[in-house]
Amino acid sequence: MEAALKDSWRRIRHRLELAGVRILKGLPALVPFKFAVKLGGSLGFLAFDIFRIRRGVTLENLKASFGDRFDERERRRIGRRSYINFAKSMVEFASIGRLSGERIRKIVRIEGAEHLDRCLDRGGGIVVVTGHFGSWELLGAASVAHGYPVDFLVGEQSNSLVDNMMNDLRRAAGIGIIARGIAARGVFASLKKNRIVALLGDQDARKSGIFVGFLGRSASTFQGTAQFALRMKSPIVCCYIVRLAGEDHEAVFMPPIEVNPEAEREGEIRRLTEEHTKAFEKAVSLHPDHYFWAHRRWKTKPPERAE
């Protein structure tokens, strides 16, 4: 009986989550796109200030990451802006299927495109890494709109209904999908075709990761980014997207991190992982209100500190 009730509640919850995504997807059809984005930001305000969803986690992460750089009032302001940015980004993600490539190019300008061009000119693809920062889904759509061949390495959501809709939105923007179940094979095939494989590099890797420094703390980090790059001798390019005035954006692609195929494998994987994590850390330090601080990035503790 208890198991049946849990299954029933899970189905109801999944349907409610799907309804929420559909509402976000339909909002820009009712009002102008940029107004819908601004309206979506109010949901972030409600989540932080009224419902206080993971507010404690957000403020604790900010304090642990920046220490005395920000006082309590400033941490609250950054946390609030983080939630507002996240909510706006979800509206933008839900809208990408409705936006033409021309419209996306007007909304998102690119800095550092020369790094992508040089890497693609020599062949072998690029491993692009970003994080839960700014409108990261729009970043992928903008890259495609600007003419770059992009595949996302995606994880599977617990709600398959939402998972399918998210991947349909990505495909509608011209983004290829590599499911984690075939991750290695799919990534290698994409890089051989001189495509860009994009993934999130700031997810907690639990016990399978290696611990590298991120904002002053050790964070368990997936080795896949470095392993893919090393196997295919492909460069790693870290990138992020920043919200500008008027709900426009700037996507920034950093100089490539080159692989040394002659180096000892384990040491090279650590170096590459440390370097792309450090590059992303710079973006977070410059624009702390763009990072999704409610994300439990440091959930897994190093062995000597595990509780």
The contacts of residue 228 (CB under 8 Å, 6+ apart) are 127, 184, 187, 188, 191, 197, 234
How many helices, marked H, and strands, marked E, lie in the chain? 11, 9
Structural domain range at position 40? 2-305
216-223 — which CB contacts under 8 Å span 24+ positions?
Answer: 216/64, 216/65, 216/67, 217/64, 217/65, 217/298, 218/298, 218/301, 218/302, 219/277, 219/297, 219/298, 219/300, 220/300, 220/302, 221/273, 221/277, 223/269, 223/273
The CATH number linked to 291 is: 3.40.1130
Could you tell me what percentage of the chain is helix, strand and coil, using 3-state DSSP and rounding each to the nearest 5? 60, 15, 25
pLDDT value, residue 162: 72
93-133 pLDDT, tens digit per residue, is 989 988 999 999 999 999 999 999 999 999 999 999 999 99
Percent of the chain with pLDDT over 90: 78
Least confident of 16-20, 41-45, 275-279: 16-20
Total domains present in the chain: 1
Q: How far is CA 38 from CA 18, 33, 84, 89, 207, in A?
A: 22, 9, 9, 10, 39
- HSE at residue 130, side-chain half, CA atoms within 13 A, is 27
Least confident of 25-29, 124-128, 244-248: 25-29
Rounded Cα–Cα distance for residues 67 and 48 (Å): 21
> What does each C-alpha distance from 156 to 25, 76, 94, 180, 197 come to in angstroms?
20, 32, 18, 7, 17
Structure tokens at 298: 């440091």
H-run or E-run covering 151? strand 150-154
